[in-house]
Structure 1
Amino acid sequence: MILITKKGWRYERKDGHSFHFHPNTSALRIKNLSRGESDSLVKFAELRPGDHVLDCTLGMASDAIVASYAVSESGRVVGLESEPILAEMVRQGLKSTVTNRTRLDAAMRRVEVMSRDYRDALPNMKDDSFDVVMFDPMFRKTIKTSSAMQVLKPLANPVPLDQESVQHAVRVSRRLVMLKERLDSGEFERLGFTIVKESSQFAWGVIQKSDVT
């Protein structure tokens, strides 16, 4: 059930758990970037002002917000979300949430949300439309200590990333395609990504456009 209140939109489940949009980890990541510290997405995607980024699995939009900050007002970030309820909640949150952190709020406002499944959208996109295309599918095993992810999981699309979509993503990208997954998921090997960043929670893999053209 969706509740619309003065504090924003909230999704409530019958078991009493609720979900509302919030910047999540993007707030700390942008704070760190503003201090000159590194961020794995920004580093390995080589994001810079003016870049165009396509986030094929928007979810809570944390990576999209960080990308928006990195590409600045001269760039563009488009987020695809296949689940209509989640897409609308995140769209509303991005445009209405006020954190009183100028950089963070500006980055949120610039993210463009499209309620579309990447499997339908990518085949219809032109070659070299975005500098970077990224995927962050819902992990089959979510982090149990993350209450936000446990509440979000029923709203998210559980379908694994497919090879055809990866091929279209490479075609659509100008520079590279990125995948965030669990290190031991087997998805990087199955889909042809080279792991560039490992951590206990997740890993980043990339396919460089120059390596396949």
Structure 2
Amino acid sequence: MTTSRRPQEEERLWAERIARRMGVHCLPRENRSLIRMMKETATDAVVVVGSDGAHWEDREGNTFRFHPNLAALRVKELAAGGADALVIAASLQPGDRVLDCTLGLGADAIVAAHVTGEAGEVVGLESQPVIAALVDYGLRHYPAASPWLVQAMQGIRVVCVDYREYLRRAGDDSFDVILFDPMFRQTVTRSSALQALKILANPEPLDPESVREALRVARKRVVLKERLMSGEFERLGFRVVKEASNYAFGIREP
């Protein structure tokens, strides 16, 4: 963990805060290149906080940082009275409590937060500390022009935890809707952010026990986003309700 070469005080404080959250050391940059820092500390990657935000970078030049991506367009469409496949599949309503078990870059959580509004709640779970820390930082610092998008991003509470552990501790019917999107295991997009996400993300597939726990915790619906021909809907007992070009949504209801 480090900063830009000439950090402002706020950047330094945020770097220290993120380092504490990730459980790593925050080292002064001292005008060193990132490659030099990685060699001197015998590490393969570093997280940097600078004037342009926070990002992860490894020795191969792969980088990861938060960006709302298509969530910005989806929120804009919804704000204009349009529809969204996730919102339809999950039957999201204002005031709903939503648990996103596979936060990733947070696109679906952002859309859910826009729909559920101030009366609702969206909790995003991410098991990988680097992803959790950078997405949480990005949700609060990304310079979005749309007030709808800013409100949605800042309405998400990020928790760094494995969803299996979180679900076991959660009370019955404590959320209205639970979301699973393990699609990053088979990422085919050329997006550099999603390719880096695949490097950092937990590759373990969704297991039947977690689905059973989700059905206990969800009051209304459990939603799975997957590739239609992956076989996951059949394996986990989900009924497909919405198809798109590269993926589909399946649901199970308690």
TM-score by length of 2: 0.80
Residue 86 (structure 1) aligns with: 131
> Which of 115, 124, 128 is the aligned partner of 2:160?
115
| Runs ≥4 residues deviating over 3 A | none
Q: What 5-or-longer segments of structure 1 have no aligned partner?
A: none
Residue 27 (structure 2) aligns with: none
Residue 15 (structure 2) aligns with: none
Q: Deviations over 1:159-193 (max 9, x none)?
A: 00000000000000000000001111100000000
Distance in 2 (CA, whole Å) between partners of 1:96 and 1:149 is: 20
> Which of 49, 52, 55 is the aligned partner of 1:10?
55
Q: Deviations over 1:15-68 (max 9, x none)?
A: 112111111111000011111111011112111111000000000000000000
Distance in 1 (CA, whole Å) between partners of 2:94 and 2:104 is: 23
**2:206 is the alignment partner of 1:161:** yes
Deviates more, 1:192-201 or 1:50-59: 192-201
Residue 106 (structure 1) aligns with: 151
Alignment size in residue pairs: 209
After superposition, where does 1:64-75 map in structure 2 within 5 Å?
64-75=109-120
What secondary structure sits across from 1:22 in the alignment? coil
> Which of 71, 77, 83 is the aligned partner of 2:122?
77
Residue 240 (structure 2) aligns with: 195
> Which of 48, 53, 58 is the aligned partner of 2:93?
48
Distance in 2 (CA, whole Å) between partners of 1:54 and 1:8 is: 26
Distance in 1 (CA, whole Å) between partners of 2:188 and 2:88 is: 24
Distance in 1 (CA, whole Å) between partners of 2:127 and 2:246 is: 24
Q: What 5-or-longer segments of structure 2 have no aligned partner?
A: 1-45
- Do 1:139 and 1:182's aligned partners in 2 also have CA atoms closer than 8 Å? no
Distance in 2 (CA, whole Å) between partners of 1:138 and 1:15 is: 24
> Which of 43, 52, 71 is the aligned partner of 1:26?
71
Root-mean-square deviation (CA), in Å?
1.0
> Which of 227, 231, 234 is the aligned partner of 1:186?
231
Distance in 2 (CA, whole Å) between partners of 1:142 and 1:44 is: 22
Deviates more, 1:136-145 or 1:170-179: 136-145
User: Identical aligned pairs, as a percentage?
Assistant: 52
Of structures 1 and 2, the larger Rg is shown by 2
> Which of 95, 115, 123 is the aligned partner of 2:140?
95
What secondary structure sits across from 1:126 in the alignment? coil
> Which of 79, 93, 103 is the aligned partner of 1:58?
103
Residue 146 (structure 1) aligns with: 191
- Give the aligned residue type for 1:200: S
Q: Kindly tell me: are residues 138 and 13 of structure 1, through their superposed partners in 2, closer, same or farther at Cα, counting changes over 3 Å?
A: farther
TM-score by length of 1: 0.95
**Post-superposition offset of 1:140:** 3.1
- Do 1:54 and 1:133's aligned partners in 2 also have CA atoms closer than 8 Å? yes
- Do 1:138 and 1:153's aligned partners in 2 also have CA atoms closer than 8 Å? no
- Give the aligned residue type for 1:172: V
**2:37 is the alignment partner of 1:37:** no
Distance in 2 (CA, whole Å) between partners of 1:8 and 1:66 is: 22
- Give the aligned residue type for 1:8: G
Distance in 1 (CA, whole Å) between partners of 2:90 and 2:188 is: 25
- Do 1:68 and 1:107's aligned partners in 2 also have CA atoms closer than 8 Å? yes
**Post-superposition offset of 1:138:** 3.7
- Give the aligned residue type for 1:25: L
